[in-house]
Homo-oligomer: A and B are copies of this chain.
Amino acid sequence: MNQVITVGREFGSGGRELGRRLADKLGIAYYDREIVAEIAKRTSLSEEYIQHVTESRPAPLFPITIGKSFRTEMGMLQMQQTIYQEQSKILREMTERSACVIVGRCADYILRDHNPYRIFVYADLESRIARCIERSAETEKLTSAEAKKQIAEIDRARAKYYAFYTDQKWGDKANYDICINTTHISVKDWAAHLTKMLE
Contacts and interface: CB of A to CB of B under 8 A. Distances in A.
Contact of A185 (B171, B174, B177, B181): B177
Main secondary structure, interface of A, reads mixed
A184 B114 CA distance: 13
Given A196-B196, A197-B196, A179 B173 contact: yes
A178 B177 contact: no
B177 A180 contact: yes
Contacts of A197: 193, 196-197
Interface in A142-179: 171, 173-174, 176-179
Interface residues of A, number: 18
A122 interface: yes
Interface string A106-127: 0000000001000010101000
Contact of A177 (B115, B174, B184, B196): B184
Given A193-B197, A196-B197, A197-B193, A122 B180 contact: no
A173 B171 CA distance: 9
Nearest to A199: B196
14 contacts: A120-B173, A122-B173, A122-B174, A173-B179, A176-B179, A177-B180, A177-B181, A178-B178, A178-B179, A178-B180, A179-B179, A193-B196, A193-B197, A196-B197
